[in-house]
Structures are given as structure tokens and as C-alpha cells.
Structure 1
Amino acid sequence: MMKTLYFTLVALFFTSILVGQEVKFKNKSVFIDKQEALRYEQPFLADEITFKKLDSQEEVVYIKPAREDRGKYNEIVYYTLVFVQEKVSFETQKFNQKGMKSIFKQLVKEGVVLPDGTVNIEAMERFKVKYEDSLTKLLIR
């Protein structure tokens, strides 16, 4: 009994280490697994953040928060994610309590942004299906 419990705990520990990717933001650079992958720009006093490739000015991901006032106590907060090279954008409310860097960490965790700074198109489509909200239909009312 103790051997199986011990083996299970050790297996869970090692799988969590192997599966999880570490994402750090330092000096306008993004490090994925301690290797510099992308640069990011977040202008002073601006809400948006842009992730670019290291060797060029090519944009990979652009994230911008937005607010829609619907009365005194009713405010809709959402994020617009734009994958520039793939010409795909969508809006989501699922990350309201998190910041834009946390959204990027989720993109890395789900395999959308790879450690070499490229976008996995299949993972991006899965991410879009999973997190997209039809906010424009809601906001037009």
C-alpha cells in the first residue's frame, strides 16, 4: 500500500515538472524555460501589450483590454487577442481577474506560443474555441 502511494506521488511530481513550462518576464524579454523567446512592448501608461520575435519587428501576439460601461454598477471587461501573422482575433471575458501577462502564460501553457516564438495554428484554433466569447453581439444591444 505504501509503495503504490509513494510511486503515485513521485510520478505526479515528475509529470508536473516535465509538463509545466516556466515563463518569466524580465527587461522587456520573455523567457520560456530559461531561454529568451520573445520581446514584449508595453508602452508607458498604455493598456495594450505586444509580443514580438527576437530577431525582427514581426508581431506574434497583441493583447488589449477593453471596458464597456452598461450603467452605474454594470461594467463589462474583456480582452481582445490578436494573432497578427495568422490574421485571427477574438474577444474573451474569461481572464478578467488576471493580467495580460497571465494570458500570455496561458497561451504558452496550452501550446499556442512555442518556446521558439512561433504560433502553433492548431493549438491557437483550440484556444479560440475554448475561450472565445461573442461579445460584439452582446455589446451591440
Structure 2
Amino acid sequence: MIINRLFAFFILMMSCNLYFSQDITIKDDKVLLDGKQILKTEKISLAQYSFFSMKNDDEVLMYKYMDNETPSYVTDDYFILNFLTEKVKVESKDLGKVSNFMNSRKGMEKLVRWLLKERVINQDGDLNSERLAIFKEKYDENITQRTLR
């Protein structure tokens, strides 16, 4: 009897987890959320992506990976999220948030999933200015200002 209840509880928990997960895919320069296009994208290079609004084709986000001019030394690498329409730049060394073993498309899907989770962008691909300010406070490490050149 207890095993049946535990099994039922386990199935319930798994179904809730699957129900609340969102499917993010980038295909043919489109960012799809559960099959609905929310952004356009352009891969500039392996280390740079741009994301565009569906409403007016404005570039809303540019992702750039910086190797800090030391390609063989990876501990000083970081990424830049430049929210162009809001004039906000976030620099972080937490590469686990966006990297996916050199598969840039999967990494960008991970980035969009992170921005949705933090509610920086909504289900329609629009930026939320208030949540972006909170996101900047949480994750910006201001690396360029701290680096001597």
C-alpha cells in the first residue's frame, strides 16, 4: 500500500515537472518557445549571436564570448550580454549559464531559457525593464571596468 502511494506521488511529481518545462529551440534563425516564434536570431560567429524583436526587427540582445585575448588560458574568459534597446550591459564569468561544450546553438537555447526563468524576457520575447535591472544586479561582474589594459 505504501509503495503504491509512493509510486503515485513520484508519477505526480514527474508530470508536474514535465508540465512546467518549456521547450526552447533555435532553428532557421528563429527562437521558438513551445513551437511559437518569439525572437529572430543571427549567428555572427561561434562567439557572437544577435537576437532581434519580432515586432520591429530591433536588435534587442547581443551575446559575445570574450577570451580576454588569451585563447589558451580559459580561466579569464567571460561573456557579455548587451541589451541594446535598454542600454544595459551584463558581463559575467559564470560560463555554465550559457555554455554547452562548443555547440553555440545549444548554448544560446540555454541562454534564452535562463532569461525566461529570470523573467528578463516574457513569453512573447519582450524585455522587462524592471526584471532586467534586477538581473544586472544579480549577475553583472563589471569585468571590463576591473581589468587593467
Provide TM-score, normalisation by structure 1. 0.81
Cα RMSD (Å) of the superposition? Answer: 2.6
* Unpaired segments ≥5 residues, structure 1: none
- Are the structure 2 counterparts of residues 122 and 18 from structure 1 closer, same or farther at C-alpha, using a change threshold of 3 Å? farther
Q: Is the helix fraction higher in 1 or 2?
A: 2
- Are the structure 2 counterparts of residues 9 and 120 from structure 1 closer, same or farther at C-alpha, using a change threshold of 3 Å? farther
Aligned residues: 140
1:33 Cα deviation (Å)?
1.2
Contact 1:49–1:63 under 8 Å retained in 2:
yes
- Are the structure 2 counterparts of residues 24 and 139 from structure 1 closer, same or farther at C-alpha, using a change threshold of 3 Å? same
Contact 1:37–1:115 under 8 Å retained in 2:
yes
Partner of 2:20: 19
Contact 1:30–1:37 under 8 Å retained in 2:
yes
**1:50-129 equivalences in 2 (<5 Å):** 50-69=50-69, 73=73, 76-95=76-95, 98=99, 99=104, 100-101=107-108, 102-129=110-137
The AA in structure 2 aligned to 1:94 is: D
Partner of 1:131: 139
Contact 2:122–2:128 under 8 Å retained in 1:
yes
Q: Secondary structure of the equivalent of 1:111?
A: coil
1:36 Cα deviation (Å)?
0.9
* Unpaired segments ≥5 residues, structure 2: none
- Are the structure 2 counterparts of residues 125 and 14 from structure 1 closer, same or farther at C-alpha, using a change threshold of 3 Å? farther
1:110 Cα deviation (Å)?
2.6
- Deviation readout 1:51-80 (Å, 9 max, x if unpaired): 10124221221111112246x747511111
Q: Distance in 1 between matches of 2:60 and 2:123?
A: 13
Q: Secondary structure of the equivalent of 1:130?
A: helix
